[in-house]
Structure 1
Amino acid sequence: MFKSKARSVRLQIPEGMPVPQHVAVIMDGNGRWATVRGLPRMAGHHAGMGAMRDVIRAADDVGVKFLTMYAFSTENWKRPRQEIQYLWQLLEEFFLRDIKELIERNVVIRFIGDTTHLPLASQKTIERAKEMTCSNTGMVVQFALNYGSRLEIVEAIKAIAKRVESGELSPDDIDDSVLSSHLSTAGIPDPDLLIRTSGDQRISNFLLWQIAYAELYFCDKLWPEFHREDFLAALESYGRRERRFGGLK
């Protein structure tokens, strides 16, 4: 039985069951959660921030080492401008309110994706969060912002091609590890478990290379409804699975 760093709680994970080292989460369903309640989509995003806070705490409490949250994709720019602007405001609100607890929990904050296209204020918030947690040694929380896996892989291939062109790298030297080292997740182990909420069962251009052998967990709950007990249920499901990586037991 695990104990929360904030308070003692009984967690629904049997003792001795393995905990994934790296969990990736597609936080889906904020808009639908708001729509069914007759609320503006922004209300769903705000409620979703509470779910994100719960999951970060739960992951830290049970010993997850890396947590990657899909916060904004390269395709999300197609959404209404007002909604996008509100998401950047939420980013700043989250770190303004929660950075103290994240530091107390010894959490390291990272970002993947092209954040140079974000508003200047958001870029400053990102840099401040990274700087304030860079000396920490605990769980790494990665936020995928303006992230798209296909673009990430294309950029990695371009970088490798330049190294080959310059003679620094031979084509015969290119293997899985070389490509992985050119991705934005370089130095981070691949996810063991991918969770997606809202009932949709697709990957949506998220960590396509990195989740080659991840266990997939799809939940019907909309993201604002997904809290500690739901995250622990996903971890328990993971712990009961047999991972063979193409081999035999």
Structure 2
Amino acid sequence: MTDPSYLAAVRESYDTVADDYAALVKPPSALDPLSRSMLSAFAELVRAADRGPVADVGCGPGKVTAHLAGLGVSAFGIDVSPKMVELARTAYPELRFSVGSMTALEIEDDALGGILAYYSTHHTPPESLPVVFSEFHRTLAPGGHLLLVGHVGAGEHRRPGRAYGGHSVSFASYRLPVEQLARLLKHAGFSIDAQLAQEPGEDLRWKLAHFLTHKPTAEESGVAP
């Protein structure tokens, strides 16, 4: 299958900025308290459900994957950028990282106990998000959890041109309304357990949303086993 055209821009851009991105982006331990608490809650829910490993989709240099592992979660990372995966493997050789796309995950149905999409879906055009969320739903085991985190807005579409140390980039970014993302998640089959929106402030340049969701079990869905 041929990748969607926008993925080429994302891959090339993050290969270009990878070294500076890894140096500039905060580790989870330096995040604001609410962001850290949502990651901790996700890890606790995944451990309690015990449905399988967690895929950190769009893992970048692996900092959050390693943080989840430190919270007792069996986690591995996937990223579209080969350079990011190379950095992650070097920094965390004890963990598993692979090159892949969230539009076509090379993972069997119902195989995951959790999926983390941490600042990793905002380069996806809104019309392609149903494909991504469908892949998340397909690969997540019933009772498994998805934590989706990213900047939100009023539907802004940005092409920054340069990023992370002033490197030239060709990707686009989308800041969708919280309500639109919630609808897309529900339409994909997820139940939203918690939804947290953080307003811009000292630690945040843009509004941030966290969606803690799960894939319903057969009993929840009213489907006979």
Normalised by the length of structure 1, the TM-score is 0.34
Q: Which protein is richer in strand relative to its size?
A: 2
Normalised by the length of structure 2, the TM-score is 0.36
Q: Work out which of the two has the higher radius of gyration on C-alpha atoms and give 1 or 2.
A: 1
Q: Which protein is richer in helix relative to its size?
A: 1
